Structure 1
Amino acid sequence: MMGQLKLISRGVENPNCNPSEEGGVNGEKLTDLGNGSHVVYIPRFLGYDKSWEYFNYLDKHIPWTRPTIRVFGKPFLQPRDVCYIASKGLKELSYSGYKPDAYSWEDFPPLEEILDKVHKAFPGSHFNSLLLNRYKGGNDYVGWHADDEKLYGSNPEIASISFGCERDFILKKKPNKRCKVEGESPSKRAKKNDSYTFKLKHGSVLVMRGNTQHDWLHSVPKRAKADSARINLTFRRIM
């Protein structure tokens, strides 16, 4: 099991920015989701111009593919482009009937550079794989899911870096059947904060940790006004 990540400001670019109203360097926001689930969001993790350099490199040099996956047993063209990077000797990744080929970190030096920045910013992290997503416009999306595959361990920590067009990232609590069994009233359940929305900015990082993948689902929904591309890097650790 991966240990808790501790954020330090020296791993974040633009260290001279003033703390925001949220109380963190570069607008850092820690959201306690309850029951041991936490999200850290830093809207200015990487510098603006440097982030565009990364975006342009990734857009042009990554071998993007748009695979066919299976949803409820039926073939479905995945609504975004993907690419997969992994260290040697790791278990094979498989989701929705799709097994992506794993490229090497050495094939794309800027990705090694970004990984190093993430590790410096979050001591204790040991990410060894990366799933890249490219959303070409507002009709590209990812539906509700949790990254709870067994190869990530019992409490996976996932760092998500965004470049390009801003998109909404939404978390919602998984249905709690126990509440119904125990007879909790709908009015009492309504008082709980069961969803959160983060506007993922260019150069930002969002880290999910603790029990987040057990208790919460997340998605990047369609947005008609999102008229340009977004590239997302999700760093993970395969156990």
Structure 2
Amino acid sequence: MSLMNLKLKANPNPNPNDNAKKTQIVDLGNGSSVVYVPKFLAYDASWEFFNYLDNHIPWTRPTIRVFGRSCLQPRDTCYVATAGLPDLIYSGYQPHAYSWDDFPRLNDILDAVHKMLPGSMFNSLLLNRYKGGNDYVGWHSDDEKLYGPTPEIASVSFGCERDFFLKKKSQKSSQERSDEKPPLKRFKKSSQDDQHHFALKHGSLLVMKGNTQRDWQHSVPKRAKAETTRINLTFRRVMQD
């Protein structure tokens, strides 16, 4: 049975009261929004994908520059992109761009994302692997110019559930950017309009739309209880000249 068939197979024991099945749409205001689908991919198919990604992707943990200093990025990474796109560079690091043909099963996940998001045309993918609770990504926005002014970013998660936080940019933070700055504080669940929290589940999809990268920052902080591996795929569209 193919991975896509696994994804499309119905749950034999559906529970209509399971809130995790419900798509959440959060209007962040001012043209920004987030869509969260907790059960985007079926459980078994998600583990098939996880095992493939964990064992077949050429993961690397690069040295980056943060505030003028060199340090090891606190997670593994890999980059896949359509040929001919502008290079991705962040924190002084330019990852090698692998081809989609190098890892054919990535196309199965991309097809599922495109089916969920009609009209989207993603042509690049940044993969990250968090090997435990000490791996993280600090407060940042994916606001590189190569993604255009209002990028749509689709994030698919496999493995260990991890917290994902959004906070509205202050005037100062909107003028600064640091992908690897450690989280300044740990937000609790709040109904305030300037912060949001999602527990990114195995097989889930989270989409950031509109002005989210312009007006908001996001992070996946350290978590002592996160003892197993999480793999995250962020699909993006690189604008061509």
- The two structures have a TM-score, normalised by structure 1, of 0.85
Deviation at 1:14, TM superposition (A): 6.0
* Contact map agreement 1:86 1:102 (CA 8 A) in 2: yes
User: Shift of residue 194 of structure 1?
Assistant: 1.0
**Which of 155, 161, 179 is 1:160 aligned to?**
155
Give the match's secondary structure for 2:98: coil
Displacement after TM superposition at 1:13 (Å)? 4.5
SS in 2 for 1:207: strand
1:224 corresponds to 2:224: yes
* Structure 1 residue corresponding to 2:105, chosen from 99, 107, 110: 110
Q: 2:129 aligns with which of 129, 134, 138?
A: 134
1:206 paired residue number:
206
Normalised by the length of structure 2, the TM-score is 0.84
Q: Does 1:121 align with 2:133?
A: no
Q: Secondary structure at the match of 1:138?
A: coil
Q: Give per-residue Cα distances to partners, 1:192-239, cap 9 Å, x unaligned.
A: 521101000000000000100011000000000000000000000000
Structure 2: gaps spanning 5 or more residues: 1-6, 173-189
1:100-150 Cα offsets, whole Å, 9 max, x none, are 000000111110110011001100100000000000000000000000000
Alignment of 1:174-189 (within 5 A): 174-176=169-171
Q: Which residue of 2 aligns with 1:92?
A: 87
- Compute the displacement of 1:160 (Å): 0.2
> Per-residue deviation at 1:21?
8.1
The equivalent residue for 2:61 is 66
2:233 alignment counterpart: 233
How many angstroms does 1:76 deviate by? Answer: 1.0
Q: Residue in 1 aligned with 2:25?
A: 30
Q: Distance in 1 between matches of 2:235 and 2:153?
A: 6
Letter in 2 for 1:151: L
Taking the aligned partners of 2:21 and 2:112, their CA distance within structure 1 comes to 15
Distance change >3 Å, CA 137–CA 35, structure 1 → 2: same
* Helix, strand or coil at the partner of 1:89: coil
User: How far apart are residue 27 of structure 1 and its match?
Assistant: 1.4
The amino acid of 1:130's aligned partner reads L
Q: Partner letter of residue 49 of structure 1? A: D
Residues 29-71 of structure 1 show CA distances to partners (whole Å, capped at 9, x for unaligned) of: 0001111100000000000011000000000000000000000
Give the equivalent residue in structure 2 for 1:45: 40
Q: Which runs of 4+ in 1 moved over 3 A?
A: 12-22
Q: Does the 8 Å CA contact 1:14/1:26 hold for their aligned counterparts?
A: no
SS in 2 for 1:70: strand
Q: Is the 8 A contact 1:20 1:27 kept in 2?
A: no
Distance 1:20 1:32, change over 3 A: farther
Cα distance in 1 for residues equivalent to 2:43 and 2:111: 18
The CA RMSD measured in Å over matched residues stands at: 1.9
Task: Give, in angstroms, the shift of residue 176 of structure 1.
Answer: 3.7
2:166 to 155, 171, 183: 171
Amino acid at match of 1:65: T
Q: Which runs of 5+ in 1 are unaligned?
A: 1-11, 178-189
Q: Would the alpha carbon gap of residues 156 and 19 (structure 1) be closer, same or farther in structure 2, given more than 3 Å must change? A: farther
